[in-house]
Amino acid sequence: MEHGAFDFGKLGWFAGWLVAVVLLFLAGARLPLSFRQRRFRAVAFHAAIVAAAVGVAVLANVALTLNDAHIDLTREKIYTPSAQAMKVVDELKQPVRLTYFYRSQDPEGRRVKEVLGVMGRRNPLFEVRVADPDKEPTLARAFGVRIYNAGILEAADRKLLVQSVDEAEIAIGVQRVLRERVVTVCFLEGHNELPMDNFEYHTHVEGTSNHNHGDASSQHVQMPDHGIGRLRRALEVQGYSARKVVLATQPAVPRECQVLIIANPRTTFLPAESAAIEGYLRAGGSLLAMFDLGFVLETRLAELVGQLGVSLPQEAVVDPLSHYASDSEMVAVTGYEAGPVTRNLSMTFFPGARPLAPRTPAAGIKVTALFASSRDSYTRPVLAAGVRDADPASKPATPTPSGPGARLLAATAEGRLPGADAGASPLRAVIVGDGDFASNSFLPYLANSDLALSMVRWLVREERTANVASRIPVPAMILLSGAQMRTIFLAVEVLLPLAVFALGILMWWRRR
């Protein structure tokens, strides 16, 4: 869990309060108990001393109360809200009330009570009330709550039930109850895309000599049973609505689709489908296109992608310097271009990625690079999906790899296409040369889920709000990049034995 840095300004207020108390004690110890003055002057003097002492004490305690500091001495900081949850509370502009029901005999429930108390004291607009339904059954019945570890969020005339012991989920609930519009995310289907209803995944990762995920043309085995249901579930936790879209049976992208997601299609679109996507973008739509290896873009779709500033050659990126585990075709990315999509991202990886070749975009379109492979990466040709499926043993006509150099892997486009609808909002698009990173098998690992959710949040124009991601359960695994594995190997297998050997020689030399 990520936690914010301690506020030393609050510690300064505590130090000031302590100084005030010490000064009062010293003043009380040094002032005489009686004075050889007239009775009236003595009474007035003592009254002034008492008033000053009371005033200083009251002001010091008020200042300390208004600048309350939370100190968590546990190693895991289990009583401290995450930095993202606190940011959600800090950004509140209207009152939100949380009534949380917990079981007082449950240690986890008591922990949540303390964490919510810290969040409630952070911002007066966030009103927190905790109750034990066993001790306050009338209140629980009034809210219709019959379970433990559940909270009712209220904002204006909206209510939302959140059942969780995770403050991140509660922070997401705050964002959902404040959202005044329904955001619909549409998943395109009909071309063997990763299905949104499929939650199948594998819990192991192996090298190219064994079983892996990706595209057959890139020495990987495409797993048809895998889907993108985990991303759909993560989006629904954020409060988005998800639905399918099949353009082969309808003339246009539905108007309620705030985002259209194309997740790893395998068969070429029909011209009418490409025209529907182009019309959607001209009307100010948002597109997340994840085009994996081997996919052939229909002519009109290729022209549209070219107007967005990129083209997608039939090549695979190989990165011998920065890759995931021991597979140089699972490109690992640790550096990103600054921007709202890539803010605060750690390492991500892309199993079998194709490069994006920059092109001159259409007038009115601004293109921004998101991230690229390392300077040592190169590309090699791959076959189109139809050719590969017809003859799996076939090879590209030109197997010679390209020279080394960074390859663009993802980019954003924003603006208006020529001939766009009058009064339409500027379109937004994210184009990625890989779809496996967002699939069920790879979404939970490293920062892949953060990247996928950040892309969608930017596309729905919610990038300015705090980015709080729900935790996706994953098996207990230690996942390392190729560079990290080499470093550990050198440290454990080379330097440590040499150090022991050198220490033995030193001891022998001293005992001669």
Q: Looking up tokens 């967005």, which residue turns up?
A: 308
Q: Are residues 49 and 104 in the same domain?
A: no
- Looking at the structure, tell me whether residues 217 and 300 fall in a common domain: yes
Same domain, 147 and 249: no
- Quick check: 10 pLDDT over 90? no
449 plus 509 within the same structural domain: no
**Domain-embedded: residue 469:** no
394 is a domain residue: yes
Which range has the top average pLDDT, 8-17, 312-321, 379-388?
312-321
For residue 2, the model assigns a pLDDT of 46
> What crossing angle do the helices spanning 83-90 and 107-122 adopt, rounded to 10°?
40
Neighbours of 370 (CB within 10 A): 23
Q: Judge if 343 and 267 occupy the same domain.
A: yes
189 and 172 in a single domain? The answer is no
Give the model's pLDDT for residue 473. 52
pLDDT of residue 478: 54
* Cβ–Cβ under 8 Å, residues 333 and 371: yes
Q: What is the pLDDT of residue 244?
A: 94
Task: For residues 383 and 260, state if they share a domain.
Answer: yes
* pLDDT of 203 above 50: no
pLDDT digits (tens, 9 = 90+) for 281-318: 999 999 999 999 989 999 999 999 999 999 999 999 99
Residue 465 domain-assigned? Answer: no
Q: Is residue 464 part of a domain?
A: no
Higher pLDDT pick, 44 / 302: 302
pLDDT number for residue 465: 73
- Does one domain contain both 407 and 454? yes
**195 and 341 fall within a common domain:** yes
List, as one string, the DSSP characters of 182-218.
Answer: --EEEEE-SSSPPPTT-----S----TTS--SS-GGG
Which of the 8 DSSP states describes residue 3? B
In whole angstroms, give the CA distance from residue 252 to residue 229. 24
Question: Is 144 within a domain?
Answer: yes
Domain region containing 381: 184-459
Q: What is the pLDDT of residues 460-482, one digit of tens each?
A: 998 877 666 555 555 555 556 66
In this structure, the answer to whether residues 488 and 361 fall within a common structural domain is no
Whole-angstrom distance, CA of residue 432 vs CA of residue 290 = 5
Per-residue pLDDT, 390: 46
Instruction: Establish how many alpha carbons lie within 13 A of residue 476's alpha carbon, considering only the half-sphere containing its beta carbon.
Output: 0
| Residues 345-383: tens digit of each pLDDT | 889 999 999 999 999 999 999 999 999 999 999 999 988
Residue 392: pLDDT over 70: no
pLDDT category of residue 91 using cuts at 50, 70 and 90: confident
Residues 6 or more apart in contact with residue 67 via CB below 8 angstroms: 9, 10, 13
Q: Domain total for the chain?
A: 4
Question: Each residue of 126-168: pLDDT tens digit?
Answer: 999 999 988 888 888 888 888 888 889 998 888 888 888 788 8
Q: Is the pLDDT of residue 224 over 70?
A: no
CA 71 to CA 1: how far, in whole Å?
16
Among 379, 387, 383, 385, residue whose Cα is nearest residue 404? 379
Is 472 inside any structural domain? Answer: no
Boundary (domain end) residue, out of 127, 160, 178: 178
Q: Is residue 2 situated within a structural domain?
A: no
How far is the C-alpha of 264 from the C-alpha of 280, rounded, in Å? Answer: 19
Where a domain ends, among 178, 196, 215?
178
* C-alpha separations of 107 from 10, 110, 116, 138, 167 in Å: 29, 5, 14, 24, 15
Domain edge (last residue) among 123, 143, 178: 178
The answer to whether residues 358 and 328 belong to one domain is yes
Q: What pLDDT, on the 0 to 100 scale, is given for residue 296?
A: 94
Supply 285's token pair.
């739509």
- pLDDT band (50, 70, 90) for residue 458: very high
CB-hemisphere CA count at 13 Å for 9?
A: 4
Beta bridge partners of 112: none
Q: What is the pLDDT of residues 92-131, one digit of tens each?
A: 889 999 999 988 888 888 888 888 888 888 888 999 999 9
Q: How far apart are CA 239 and CA 176, in angstroms?
A: 6
pLDDT band at 214 (very low <50, low <70, confident <90, very high): very low
Assigned token pair, 506: 């030193």
Report pLDDT digits (tens) over 398-419. 455 678 999 999 999 999 998 8
Q: The domain that contains 120 carries what CATH number?
A: 3.40.30.10
CATH of the domain at 222: 3.40.50
pLDDT at 337: 93
Write down the residue that tokens 């080394």 correspond to: 404
* pLDDT of the residue at 109: 85
Token pair for 10: 């609050």
The lowest-confidence range among 51-60, 91-100, 258-267 is 51-60
Which residues on adjacent β-strands are paired with residue 432?
290, 410
pLDDT score of 180 more than 90:
no
**Assigned domain for 75 exists:** no
- What is the pLDDT of the chain when averaged over all its residues? 81
Q: Residues 323-347: what's their mean pLDDT?
A: 89
Q: What angle do CA 64, 70, 75 make, to 5 degrees?
A: 155
Q: What is the maximum alpha-carbon separation in the chain?
A: 114
Q: Are residues 54 and 116 in the same domain?
A: no
